[in-house]
Amino acid sequence: MFAVIFDKNTTDENTAKCVEYYIDELGCDANIVPSFTNDDFNLLDAAYENNKTKTFDLLLNKDITPDKWLTAIIATEFLVFFRENSDGIKDKKASPELLEFIKTLKYKEFKEEKFKLIKKLLDLGQDPYYYGYLRVILKIVGDEKDLDNLLKNETQKELAQ
């Protein structure tokens, strides 16, 4: 399943069909972790990282467990986005240009899209603890409150159950 996800010549639609066939018809485990990695990198991480959104959505509906790798990928996307649109973060400090950039609609839309994904992942059982790296990044730019609220709400849901 990893091979078809990583294959750049296979469309997202065909990848999703193949993965669905492997899981539903052949009984493959959606939570498989490949032997070529030492960590919990799974199919969901691979689909997200390879921008195969249909495959990613399919996997979310197959009881796959979102793990810590996905949070690291999302946090890194924030760093890359900051670097592409401003001077970014240097020496654990936000540049004045970055502090102005986070006030823009472009940043707000990017953040909203990522936070919808985070909420979805948390609702599927992802551990809020894994978002510590993203929290550090957002704290540097003074924009961690929304993430704190999201994580707090999810932690409170867990305690209530």
Q: Please report, for the chain, the start and end positions of each structural domain, with discontinuous segments joined by +.
A: 2-60, 68-160
Res 159: pLDDT: 42
Res 50: pLDDT: 93
Res 1: pLDDT: 86
Res 156: pLDDT: 57
Res 66: pLDDT: 85
Residue 4 to residue 6: CA distance in whole angstroms: 6
Widest Cα–Cα separation across the chain: 54
Task: Flag whether the pTM goes above 0.85.
Answer: no
Compute mean pLDDT per 10 residues along the chain, 161 residues long, and list them.
91 96 92 70 89 94 84 94 92 92 97 95 90 95 94 61 40
Res 110: pLDDT: 97
**Burial group, residue 77, by CB count within 10 angstroms (0-12, 13-18, 19+):** middle
Res 39: pLDDT: 67
Res 145: pLDDT: 94
**Burial group, residue 150, by CB count within 10 angstroms (0-12, 13-18, 19+):** middle
Are 135 and 148 in contact by the 8 Å Cβ rule? The answer is: yes
